[in-house]
Structure 1
Amino acid sequence: MKEITGQPYAEVIGDPAGHSKSPMIHRFWLRKLGIDADYRIAEVKPGGLADYFANRADDPDWMGCNVTIPHKLAALEHVADPGGVRESIGAINTVFRGEDGALIGTNTDAAGFWVPIATRNWTGRHAVVIGSGGAARAVLFALAKGGIGEVTMVARSGLKAMGLLAQFGLKGGVQDFGAKLPGANLLVNASPLGMAGQDALDLDLDPLKRGALVYDLVYKPVETPLLRQAADRELETIDGLSMLVAQAALAFELFFGEPAPEEGQDALFEKLTA
């Protein structure tokens, strides 16, 4: 690995990326641990990915990046994949330097998604997953590993969604946004719908099973219209900050070589929701 000549840093890349709360999370942990490093935002257009990774590979202070919309699939073309993420999940959300300085892609989204629901028994249950992009891939990977019984995909491209179900060996089907939801135990919004600046997510949650869990990966706003609607129906909810912080902790250790501190998490969530 090249010698660090200045202040080490990591960053988040996306188009757009300005909405990201990752800098707040990573800087909070860096201060807690007394690490002299930074975490930044980089707006990268789809056509600029190759130049971005080439330039960062030559920057000895760059420790890695988180990858957000719309680069989670395309970024795989520019980094090494020793863990076989291309074949398993098919999308990355984190790039870090290996011991030899090579840029390595991985995915902390799947584990980050799973952490808040890991204590529940999902074997044989029915899930609805909205979206068919990089985040949905991570969700489907985690649900398949967790033994989910059936998945209904809600997506604009039925063919793409069916391909994802087949890729992860999941039973289920695909429907469009206007169709009535099935009586599922879990609904996951893995699309950008409902995010600030994006189209609204308009769903009728009444068909979901009593006691169903609604999990929205969107975190800006933290309380999305989908989560408010679920709460009004007395359904359990999980917001996108839970996954964001869980996946960030995994990435933090890859970037900076230290585990994210567990103490102060309440203060962190207060900052994120202020």
Structure 2
Amino acid sequence: MTKRKAFIIGSPISHSLSPQLHGFWLRQYGIDGSYEAFDIKPDYLHKVIKKLANDGYVGGNITIPHKEKAMMICDEIDEIAQNIGAINTLSFREGRIFGSNTDGFGFLENVKENVSRETFSVNQGRAMVLGAGGAARAIIYSLKSAGYEVTLCNRTQENAEKLAAEFDCGVTSWDSRNNLITYNMLVNTTSLGMLHNDPLNIDLSTLPQSAIVCDIVYNPLETELLVQAKMRGLQIIDGLGMLLYQAIPGFELWFGKRPEVTSELREHMIRCLNMKLFHQS
């Protein structure tokens, strides 16, 4: 059987943990395959994807800054990706390029895995989403699909208003981000709090005790937002799980095996993350 090859394309790409993630699954399931990372600038995206398809790759992931531009290369895009307005997964079949988006799936699966079904059901209500970039799109879509009423809060009000109009969401100003008394979920989709970035300055004192606090940042694994939430006894969900769960559909598409997210995988990925942090320091 021919070795199956997949990839991830982004720029920059050296920070990505996806090769370590898919490599773990390939070894675990004894699959003869590979998963490579390519740092590709936007001007070369179309040419590189076409070449990879012609060179026998079965598909791959698309990450920042290509998630929207890559849609133009696809012959077919699934309904979820069309609604989100971005793709993160490509598959090559019968000379055609198919695009999908698994970010929303990854976010929701991570939430469901980390809170009880009763908590998640009870908490379906109001969510504040911080940020209005590409990551916010999939999370807004998934939250609304799960029955949440979503309010956007972004440093640039105009961007929040545009995204809110597209997804039929509420908007509140960045200066009002501490007014959390009516929300039972808070999600940070910005890069604030990421290693070497500015911190996310927010006061969680008005957030109800039953609320869930999610941060899609996983470098560091426990951000200042999550530390503050933990100190208040709130349910916290870090960003690593979203990375792990969003990878499941793509791996199954490319390698024919639906993988599982296990404690061993998470421990492996934390070791990989710490190794990257060590080399960056």
What is residue 217 of structure 1 aligned with on the other side?
216
Contact (CA 8 Å) 1:127, 1:185: kept in 2 or not? yes
Structure 1 segments (4+ residues) deviating >6 Å: none
Tell me whether 252-261 or 80-89 shows the greater mean CA deviation. Answer: 80-89
Asked if 1:101 corresponds to 2:99, the answer is no
What is residue 114 of structure 1 aligned with on the other side?
108
Asked if 1:135 corresponds to 2:130, the answer is no
User: Per the alignment, in what secondary structure is the counterpart of residue 121 of structure 1?
Assistant: helix
Alignment map for 1:143-222 (pairs within 5 Å): 143-149=143-149, 151-170=150-169, 172-176=170-174, 179-183=177-181, 184-222=183-221
User: Per the alignment, in what secondary structure is the counterpart of residue 242 of structure 1?
Assistant: helix
Normalising by structure 1, we get a TM-score of 0.88
What is residue 268 of structure 2 aligned with on the other side?
271
Distance in 1 between residues matched to 2:69 and 2:172, nearest whole Å:
24
Distance in 1 between residues matched to 2:164 and 2:77, nearest whole Å:
24
Normalising by structure 2, we get a TM-score of 0.86
Figure out how many residues of one structure are paired with residues of the other and give that number: 264
Identity %: 39
Alignment root-mean-square deviation, CA: 2.1
**Residue deviations 1:219-273, cap 9 Å, x none?**
12211222112112211101111111111111110121211146xx111111111
Q: 1:26 aligns with which of 6, 22, 27?
A: 22
Distance in 2 between residues matched to 1:257 and 1:92, nearest whole Å:
21
**Residue deviations 1:67-113, cap 9 Å, x none?**
22222212112223342345311111111113x13121100111111
Name the structure with the higher helix share: 2
Contact (CA 8 Å) 2:89, 2:100: kept in 1 or not? yes
Match for 1:256: what amino acid?
F
What is residue 125 of structure 1 aligned with on the other side?
125
Match for 2:173: what amino acid?
Q
Contact (CA 8 Å) 1:162, 1:174: kept in 2 or not? no
Any stretches of 5+ residues in structure 2 without a counterpart? 272-281
Question: In 2 relative to 1, CA 31–88 (structure 1 residues): closer, same or farther, beyond 3 Å?
Answer: same
User: Per the alignment, in what secondary structure is the counterpart of residue 253 of structure 1?
Assistant: helix
User: Per the alignment, in what secondary structure is the counterpart of residue 108 of structure 2?
Assistant: helix
Distance in 2 between residues matched to 1:251 and 1:106, nearest whole Å:
9
User: Per the alignment, in what secondary structure is the counterpart of residue 66 of structure 1?
Assistant: strand
Any stretches of 5+ residues in structure 1 without a counterpart? none
